[in-house]
Each structure stands twice: as structure tokens, then as C-alpha cells.
Homo-oligomer: A and B are copies of this chain.
Amino acid sequence: MQKTVQYNVEKVRQDFPILQRIINGKPFIYLDNAATAQKPRQVIETLDRFYKEYNANIHRGIYKVSEEATAAHEEARAKVARFINARSPNEIVFVRGTTEAINLVAHAWGRKNVGLGDNIMLTEMEHHSNIVPWQLLAKEKGASLKYVGITDQGILERYEFQQHLQSGAKLFAVAHSSNVLGTINPVRELIREAHKTGCCVLVDAAQSVPHMPVDVQDLDCDFLAFSGHKMCGPTGIGVLYAKGNLFDEMVPFHGGGEMISEVHPYESSWKPPPYKFEAGTTNIEGAIGLGAAIDYLSNIGLRKIRLHEREITAYAIDKLSRTKGITIYGPSDPQARGGVVSFNLGDVHPHDMATLLDEDGIAVRSGQHCAQPLHERLGIPATTRASFYLYNTEDEVDRLANSLERVRGIFKL
């Protein structure tokens, strides 16, 4: 396979101090990027500088240090807006992560717009965070959930999608990219079709925004959610994007300081969005750290990152599929998938697999990856998942493949 000449993965690796670790006597190979990403020096130093130079509460502080913190925080919001090509920073609400973003929509939009007998459409490949909030809402409101099925290769059943749309759906909540199958869903087209029937669309972009260019105006999604920690930023910070004036029409989520305009003993009024949805002291350095992560990724270029991951994923699928007894899930076409490769090997339980790979310094995830309904659909109790990011190398894939041979030996497969 032809290499991308401009991408210097060794240079990228030098930015990540943790990659120097030795685990069980072996160099650390981190292949659990779909769970969380490692942090580059640039992000770590930004946080360090915040604490040492301008840590302060934001917004209402009339002194230099607080004004610096406020400016950095709001600049981070502007960076997020530019990163996903939002029209305005006012379309960006900071939350804890994808999970809170989806709960916010379920509460602040859903409780107003979803009623008795309404349908909410999901897919069989959703993460629990894009299922449970809708179950809770549906139960409260007497609404129903409809699932769009998938093929055995992990591709959405378009005909089922259209059928559900025609029966009427208030909302379609869908993963841009699956955290188990790697499938990249054609959300742009799905959104177009959904909008024709007046169905609102939320995109769970937890696995896409970190890995490829995402343009909310091009997609035309109504909501988009993602997490900072999966894109080289800190945990505890994430983003909910809402199109245009959608936020204006929503009820508050959490009540408290900073989201209010006026508070009287028996009634209050709200600030305009995005502040209306940011009650209390937010994760200030988290937002600033996310801004630094966005700078870092943008400097390298999301197109290049996507290309690198596509190459390494193609290489991994090719290499791993030569292991006797392996089953790899998801689409076979690397163009149609992100850097996630889930598999099973013989009768080796994924938890045993993860322990055995850890003995070789390789970090993978095993289990159901917060996608139990998907595993039920696939008819398997669990999978082992290797997931890649900008700093992974083909050499690491080779070492994973070697370890799989070792596992085969131990299990006498």
C-alpha cells in the first residue's frame, strides 16, 4: 500500500509523553483510542499554564486574571465553532461529554417536542449514551423507540430507515461513526431525507469529529455531540452544537448560577444561549484544553489524520485477517469505516484476550463497548476492539498480530 508522504508519524509520537512508557517490559502500544485518546505535550502545557498563570472563575470577574481566563474560555468556544464550521460560537454549548450533550437534548428539546405516541428513531449500532436518554424520555412521555436495523456487515438498512420515516418520527438520533463496527454512516444523505419529513436529526459524533473533517453546515444536522477526551483534550469537557436558533426554543436543563438573567425568589429568567445551558462553574480549563487540542489537530490537519487512520486500518484488517480463527466485524471496505477493528479469535473470551495482550504491553478494549443491543444483534457476547489514532503505526499492528499468534499458541487454536 502506498504511504502518505507528508505524514510523519514518528514526529507526532514525540508529542505524546505517555507513548514512552514500558508496560510489562515491552513498549506501550495504545490501541484503545475509541475509549479515550492520549494527550500531547501541547495540551498538557496549556493546562499547566492555566493553573500557574491565569486560573480564575470566568464571566463576572473584573480583574485581569479573570479577564484572561474568560477570554481564553470564549476563544476556545470560537475554536470549536470554526473546527466544525458552525455559523456562530453561540451554537456551541460546553458540556461534560457526548453523554451529557445527548441528555441535554432529550431533556431540553425532547420534553418539549416529543409527546404521547410520537416516535424516536435510533439504529441498532448506537452507543448506550444514544439509547438510554431516549428510553427515559420515551417512558416519561409515552413515546416509542424505533430501531433501524443493520446488515451482517454492519451497514444501515436504508429501506427500514425510510419506512420508519414514513411512519413519522420526531427525531432521528444516529452515530456518525460506530464505536464497534467502525461503520461511517452516510449522515449527510440521511439528514436530507429526514428533513423532508420534518424529522429532526441528532448526530452522535463522538467517533467522527476526532478523526475526520466534520462540517455541520454541510451535514445540515440539527444537533451534533462529541467529547473532548476522545480528541486529545481533557475529560470532563464536550460539546453540544445546535443549529441556528434551536437553542432559543429549548427549556433550561440544569438551573443555577451563570445561566440566569435575573433571579427573584419565585421566578427567574434566562440568559440567551449558549449560557442558558451552562449552569454553575463549568469546566473552564477543560474548555481551554479542548481549544489547545483543536489547535493541535488542526495544525496537523484532519484530512491527513483521516488518511493515516484509513491506511492503518486497511493494513490492520489485511494483516489480522490472516490470523487463523479470527472473525473481524464491520464493513469490509476501509473507505466506509473509521479506525476501529473489533474481532473475536476462536473460543478466546475477549477479556482473556485483553489480559493476554496486556502481558505484551498492548492496550485494547474488550466487552460490549457500551453497545449491548448491537452485540445482541450480532449474536455474540463480546468483542475485542483495537482502535487507532494519529500516533499509531503499522509496526504496532505487526506487534498486535504477533501477540495474536502467541494467544493462539496458549489457547492451542
Contact = CB atoms under 8 A, between A and B. Distances in A.
Given A32-B66, A102-B256, 9 more contacts: A17-B51, A23-B63, A28-B65, A32-B57, A35-B61, A63-B354, A103-B256, A128-B255, A227-B280
Interface of A: 17-18, 21, 23-24, 28, 30, 32, 35-36, 38-39, 43-44, 47-48, 51-57, 60-66, 96-100, 102-103, 106, 124, 127-129, 131-133, 135-136, 145, 147, 227, 229, 234-237, 252, 254-260, 262-268, 279-286, 351, 354-355, 357-358, 362-367, 370, 372-373, 376
Contacts of A280: 96-100, 129, 227
Given A256-B132, A258-B370, A280-B97, A351 B53 contact: no
15 contacts: A18-B54, A18-B55, A28-B65, A32-B63, A47-B51, A48-B48, A61-B365, A62-B358, A96-B281, A96-B283, A97-B281, A99-B281, A124-B265, A128-B263, A227-B280
A260 B99 CA distance: 13
Of A21, A23, A132, which is in contact with the most chain B CB atoms at under 10 Å from its CB? Answer: A132
A67 to B, nearest CB: 9
Given A252-B136, A366-B62, A36 B48 contact: no
Interface of chain A, helix or strand or loop or mixed? mixed
Of A128, A136, A262, which is in contact with the most chain B CB atoms at under 10 Å from its CB? Answer: A128
B133 A254 contact: yes
A279 B129 contact: yes
How many identical subunits does the complex contain? 2
Contact of A266 (B96, B145, B285, B357): B145
A373 B262 CA distance: 9
A356 to B, nearest CB: 10
B236 A99 contact: no
A32 B129 CA distance: 37
Contacts of A285: 234-236
Of A39, A131, A284, which is in contact with the most chain B CB atoms at under 10 Å from its CB? Answer: A131
A99 B256 contact: yes
A257 B127 contact: yes
Given A129-B257, A254-B100, A18 B64 contact: no
A265 B53 contact: no
A282 B370 contact: no
Contact of A286 (B18, B129, B235): B235
Contacts of A96: 96, 236, 280-283
Of A43, A57, A358, which is in contact with the most chain B CB atoms at under 10 Å from its CB? Answer: A57
